[in-house]
Structure 1
Amino acid sequence: MSQSVVAAAVYREIFLNDRPLIDLRAPVEFAKGAFPSSNNLPLMTDDERQQVGTCYQHHGPSAALALGHQLVNGATKAARVEAWLQFYRQHPDLYLYCFRGGMRSQISQGWLREAGVDIPYIVGGYKGMRQFLLQTLEAPQLAPQMLILSGTTGSGKTDVIQQRPQEAVDLEETANHRGSSFGKELTPQPTQINFENRLAIAILKHQQRQPSCLLLEDESHLIGHCFIPTPFFNNMQAANMVVLEAPWQQRLQRLLEQYVHKMCRQFCQRDGDEAGFTAFTQYLYQSINGIRKRLGLQQAGELQALMTQALQEQQQRNNTALHLEWIALLLTRYYDPMYEYQLQQKAERILFRGDQATINQWLDERQI
């Protein structure tokens, strides 16, 4: 069995089982991208890593290694080993990794052995695992499995996705964004690298469940600032579709809950009532501003005026009913026409249409 096949099997086992990982890279490397189960306990700080790197460039590997030992020595070395040991006591099935599974992993493993603990490091390191995950997203066998769930804004696509964890992968949850101009969450989105890593791990776990399809919500290339990798997105654009339909009033009420009640509640819980309502107001205005050019100045101004009236009514009388006016206008003038145009381009891919109950029934029957 080749080394690459063995490494891939190890990577797969790590990701499928959420094995705890010590990331030995410097904090600046970790911040750019890591894995969900990893914990950054670096061998060197950012400054130490920079000094060693500069020394390597000017004086070669032996001098750089000597400088590294000089910088991480005595009490500094002891503190870092103790941090690794504390993590090991909580997670005895852990792995170590650095960027390539080279010197930093080997040095750290050696120091831990001196402390009486033998912890494996990952051959190929972060680079090898990252490449494995990218290949997972590019795998051609994903294409025939895919089934795309489409539907107008507010039809409840996310509800169906979350009701079917066996078949579905929730792209919006992975990106921590609801996918529209009003889709921002209070917590930040992952970096692009972390989004790709999370998505690939979700796909690996989906494959392990061996369902009849890979159910995904219809998304644009961008979910907030997270970019769906092009090979994966291209497969989505070629996949068969089901279309979720919902009554107008149900859509309005769902969006009132998502855009207004939920977001206002979350902002007020985080910031307090007064500051929270101010932050909620800014969120609504910023969401409109994000699509101002596509709406046109006149329609954007009309929507913002309705929004202002609704916010005043909400603040003064705790009445949110006026929000339904700008939500309805947003749907009829912007989201619905855009959706109908896009769906016309995909008509030949549609296998089924129905409400939540009939969609779920249709999907259940495909399992038989």
Structure 2
Amino acid sequence: MQQEYTIEELLELRESGKYALVDVRSPKEFQEASIPGAINIPVFSNEERSEIGTLYKQESPEAAKQRGLEIFSDKLPRFINDFQKLNKPVAVFCWRGGMRSKTATTVLDLMGVKAGRLKGGIRSYRQYVVKTMESYNLKSDLIVLNGYTGTGKTKLLHQLLDKGYPVIDLEQMAGHRGSIFGQIGLLPNNQKKFDSLLLQDLEKYKDKKHIIIEGESKRIGKVVLPEFFYSKKESGTQFFLHLPIDVRVANIMEDYKPEESPEQFLEAFQFIKRNIHSPIANEIQKLLEGKQFPKAIALLLEYYYDSRYEHAITQSEGETVHIHAESMEDAFQQLRSNLKNIKF
């Protein structure tokens, strides 16, 4: 009889590090959302899954199963080899804990690979995430790194993370930088994937008194922050960064690389153009068309983004600490100095 794991048992196996979690769904399904920490060894490719689904609907379940068996048989040696290279027991899962995970665990067992499967598939994991988030008690207070666009908040977050501070990178989880230009060069995540990644980090830091995040609006690209988290963010201590305009422009050029996607930047600008005084908006348009990005960015900061941030900071309920720095290194040193008296 095949070994079945509940979602709680599966997560314990993941945390032990002694088991590999393997998503046997197609690469497209895996990319849309999976269990954090899992790897993808698909039974079927995206195209094969589509072909089998079409057969199921248009002909019969039997025809679909027959075609699935033919496809899987051809790739069986490579499939088993991929699992053997993991060199540890595995826990596999598909969508509902059905045919794909059952087939995978059966053939792996025959080849001497210790394998169990998630009862109910990833659907049971999604139900677990939703239920947990609905009643989540976030005991940690949030320290919010805020500041005008281009102050390198994400870079500073990662520097703090490297120094051992508890940091949650919301933009990385969302696959979006949080602005109208925020998804350029990135692959935005959906709510399912975002919730899974956020819950994983919340559990990792559940015993910390403080967690450091970047100041974000309630919506980041395609995803929305859960209410309990957003409320904590609003009441958290705010560290507001001030940096010279030339440093901010340089940060944006390095992060966004507009010269690699000029058409996308011009297209995104159209969504905010009407909110900028017409003569300035037309000048920005010409600069973007002429690929004079530093000048265009400087005008966007002065006439659009800075005024929006000034409004946002006045809405904060928590204490605000202003950090005036001349460089990124200066900002980091001042930030660490201010964090010394905070217990994590």
Instruction: Indicate whether 1:338 and 2:308 are aligned.
Output: yes
Query: Could you tell me which residue of structure 2 aligns to residue 295 of structure 1?
Result: 276
Pick from 216, 220, 224 the counterpart of residue 217 of structure 2: 220
Query: Could you tell me which residue of structure 2 aligns to residue 364 of structure 1?
Result: 340
| Superposed displacement of residue 171, structure 1 | 1.2
Q: Structure 1 residues 188 and 40 mapped into 2: Cα distance closer, same or farther (>3 Å)? A: same
Describe the superposition over 1:30-78 as per-residue Cα deviations: whole angstroms up to 9, x where unpaired.
454324533141267222244346678xxxxxxx4x55543333x5343
- For 1:106-117, list aligned pairs within 5 A: 106-117=102-113
The size of the alignment, in residue pairs, is 325
- C-alpha separation in 1, matches of 2:49 and 2:130: 28
- For 1:136-147, list aligned pairs within 5 A: 136-142=132-138, 144-147=140-143
Query: Could you tell me which residue of structure 1 aligns to residue 55 of structure 2?
Result: 51
Q: Structure 1 residues 174 and 217 mapped into 2: Cα distance closer, same or farther (>3 Å)? A: same
Structure 1 unpaired stretches of 5+: 57-63, 268-276, 312-319
Q: CA RMSD in A?
A: 3.3
- C-alpha separation in 2, matches of 1:18 and 1:186: 35
| Superposed displacement of residue 110, structure 1 | 1.9
Instruction: Indicate whether 1:39 and 2:36 are aligned.
Output: no
Query: Could you tell me which residue of structure 1 aligns to residue 297 of structure 2?
Result: 327
- C-alpha separation in 2, matches of 1:327 and 1:30: 36
Instruction: Indicate whether 1:118 and 2:114 are aligned.
Output: yes
Q: AA paired with 2:322?
A: R
Query: Could you tell me which residue of structure 2 aligns to residue 271 of structure 1?
Result: none
Describe the superposition over 1:259-312 as per-residue Cα deviations: whole angstroms up to 9, x where unpaired.
335544xx7xxxxxxxxx5x443244234223113225443213223445672x
- C-alpha separation in 2, matches of 1:156 and 1:262: 9
Describe the superposition over 1:172-219 as per-residue Cα deviations: whole angstroms up to 9, x where unpaired.
222333222333442423344333333333333333xx4321211111
Return the TM-score normalized by structure 2. 0.79
Q: AA paired with 1:122?
A: L
Q: Structure 1 residues 51 and 16 mapped into 2: Cα distance closer, same or farther (>3 Å)? A: farther
Query: Could you tell me which residue of structure 2 aligns to residue 154 of structure 1?
Result: 150
Percent same amino acid among aligned pairs? Answer: 22
Cα contact 1:155–1:244 (8 A) shared by 2: no
Query: Could you tell me which residue of structure 2 aligns to residue 76 of structure 1?
Result: 71
Instruction: Indicate whether 1:253 and 2:249 are aligned.
Output: no
Query: Could you tell me which residue of structure 2 aligns to residue 206 of structure 1?
Result: 205
Cα contact 2:171–2:177 (8 A) shared by 1: yes
Return the TM-score normalized by structure 1. 0.74
- For 1:94-113, list aligned pairs within 5 A: 94-113=90-109
Query: Could you tell me which residue of structure 2 aligns to residue 22 of structure 1?
Result: 22
Query: Could you tell me which residue of structure 1 aligns to residue 263 of structure 2?
Result: 282
| Superposed displacement of residue 133, structure 1 | 3.2
- C-alpha separation in 2, matches of 1:294 and 1:133: 39
Q: AA paired with 2:78?
A: A
| Superposed displacement of residue 85, structure 1 | 1.0
| Superposed displacement of residue 127, structure 1 | 1.0
Structure 2 unpaired stretches of 5+: 325-330
